Structure 1
Amino acid sequence: MTKKIDAILYPVSDIAAAKAQFTALLGVQPVMDQPYYVHFETADGVAVGLVPNGEQRGMIGATPFWTVDDINGQVKALVEAGGSVTEDVHDVGGGKLVAIVKDAQGNVVGLAQA
């Protein structure tokens, strides 16, 4: 079952400039600030992430990540519906699993399971 949008990730070429822009937009400082990823938390609990070289991971523009109960089952269902995996299911820390699938129309869909 899909529950909600967990995060929106943006591929960026200049992480410092993007961090300044999103700090101004969101009105908060990042809760994680690393050269490989900058993470903000919005007031309503949606994470906003900045990913250097995200296009190399299959991200085309902003990528929403949907929280799902069964990430492997959801990836399989999307592939069976005509999608293709651009980033296999993997752990990003703390047991959180993520994957990226491109749907049949070429849209990028992120999946996350806590």
Structure 2
Amino acid sequence: MLRGLTTFNVFADDVTAAAAWYTEFFGTEPYFARPLEGPPSYVEFRIGDYQAEFGIVDSRFSPHGKSEKPAGALTYWAVDDVQATFDRLLELGATVHDKIVERGPGFVTASVIDPFGNILGIMFNQHYLDILATKGA
């Protein structure tokens, strides 16, 4: 049984540039990088209510090779304001993958393609907020 998201990885040819872009978006620096000296092949952030791990992996380690098209699973990250987050991502250089869509009462989604070819979904999800409230977070 799936118990929760542990690590979400995206791929980039230039991990340093991707880390800088996501640092700007997240407003926090990665807490982990490998190797310790020289350009990193992996960096990791901890983000959100549950400090989920968001990793950036050098594309050469992709198990299925590098894609020339936007790639990755469409995972939605909970946000409080889809429009503001969507606008911020576009301002930082992401492009529209799927415009903002209301999927039903309390559920609004959108997705972008980051400058490194990864799909990033964002979502206002009332269910997420309801569960969060039961955890005392």
TM-score, reference length from structure 2: 0.41
The structure having more radius of gyration, on CA atoms, is 2
Higher strand share: 1
